[in-house]
Amino acid sequence: MEATVRCVPTQIARVDGQEFATGSKPALCFRGKTYALGIINDEEEIHSITLTLRDHDKCPILMYGIEEYPVTKFISHMERIMEGKSISTEALALMRQWPNNPEDFGDEPIPDKPTVAKKPQKEKGPNIIAIISADLEIPSTKIRKFLRTQGFSAPYTDEIKIRKALRNYIP
């Protein structure tokens, strides 16, 4: 569920048939599929308000410097206010359950992706060719090419035999 901190209108004035927001408050907004809920600190209590999706999307996001105001910071701010002011049960439940589940707004739950058991992989030891290449300061491609001419094939696992064969290597 999308949760953002937005400035929602609290007072609306109608002038010449048009509505203008004359007052606004920061609100913790939860957007659903059909409507949105906002939690505001009103004069008497902290409570939730219902917004249409159109109104929710028009409300500007509250900024914290150059970033969006963090939801967790707003919740902790509201918790400090709750120490001296009452809060509605719906608003408290929304804050306590955040991050919310789709069921909170009547949406279908999103099933988790089924986990597929992975086949156990064989433990791979250190890359012997890379180690020998670093020791002898010879490119690993040249070492592999030489080993193939000596009858070796991948995977190269026997370090003792490889080093013994490389004694005959002439660059």
pLDDT in tens, 7-44: 988 877 788 888 777 778 899 898 888 888 889 988 88
Alpha carbons 39 and 170: distance in angstroms, whole number: 78
- Residue 164 and residue 90 share a domain: no
- Residue 151 and residue 88 share a domain: no
- Residue 100 and residue 32 share a domain: yes
Number of domains making up the chain = 2
- The rounded percent of the chain whose pLDDT value lies above 90 is 2
Alpha carbons 171 and 153: distance in angstroms, whole number: 20
pTM above 0.85, yes or no: no
Structural domain that includes position 39: 2-105
Residues in the chain, total:
171
Residues 6+ apart with CB under 8 A from 15: none
